[in-house]
Amino acid sequence: MATRPTFVFSCLRRRLLLLSAAVFLGLLSSRISADNNILYSGESLYPGQYLLYGNYWLIMQEDCNLVLYDSGRAVWASGTHGRASYCYVRMQSDANLVIYNNAGQPLWASNTGRANGYYVLILQPDRNVVIYGGAIWATASNAYGAGVVVDGGLAAGRNETSPFGSVAVPIVNAAGAGTVELGRKIRMVAARGLHG
């Protein structure tokens, strides 16, 4: 007889294989946008849908828990498991990330509500999940340890010291979109009209 941890791992692996097969066959639409690691304002993740970046995935589970995994190991969760059925998580246009039950009642929120605008939730290469439109909320699950938060004060051409390796992270704010290149120095590559 298998031990409980082996049984749980076996079930998880079986579910992942079935989910992978369904995605491969096109039977399950796991993402709304073309970017597998970004949830845009107005988009939702329903049970079984997820954001993915390398070995990291943020999934809205069938038990109503929003969970961040690193190589199959949970590193963060919303703590909403079992509180309802058929829940979904929505990135709202007011910068609030909210988990709703099937009746549309909120169960959990990031409590980051602001003025209506354009916000995105990004599962980053460092394993952190961050709401942008200015970094206003994060799971604090950064795999690299302490990091740098760009708070809107980083303008095009300005450099800041960073502990990260070279990686590009998209950013969005009310003025437009750009890319933050994380290397030995952080460098803002701005879209026209973007200043932070």
At 117 the pLDDT is 85
- Rounded mean pLDDT of 89-95? 96
Confidence category of residue 133, pLDDT binned at 50, 70, 90: confident
In order of 15, 35, 75, 163, 171, the CA distances from 56 in angstroms are: 16, 14, 10, 20, 19
More confident residue, 47 or 148: 47
State pTM to two decimals: 0.57
Specify whether the CB–CB gap between 31 and 49 falls below 8 A.
yes
Roughly how many angstroms between the first and final C-alpha of the chain, as a whole number? 58
pLDDT the model gives residue 97: 98
- Write the pLDDT tens digit of every residue in 74-84: 999 999 999 99
Model pLDDT, residue 15: 52
Listing DSSP states for 57-69 in one string gives: EEEE-TTS-EEEE
Cα of 170 vs its chain's centroid, Å = 13
Of the ranges 58-72, 159-173, 182-196, which is most confident?
Answer: 58-72
Query: Strand, helix or coil at 50?
Result: strand
Residues 109-125 have a mean pLDDT of 92
Per-residue pLDDT tens over the stretch 12-70: 555 544 444 444 433 333 444 457 999 999 999 999 999 999 999 999 999 999 999 99
Cα(89)–Cα(45) distance, rounded to whole angstroms? 5
Assess whether pLDDT exceeds 80 at residue 144: no
Q: Using the predicted structure, report yes or no on whether residue 135 has a pLDDT greater than 70.
A: no
- Averaged pLDDT for residues 179-189: 44
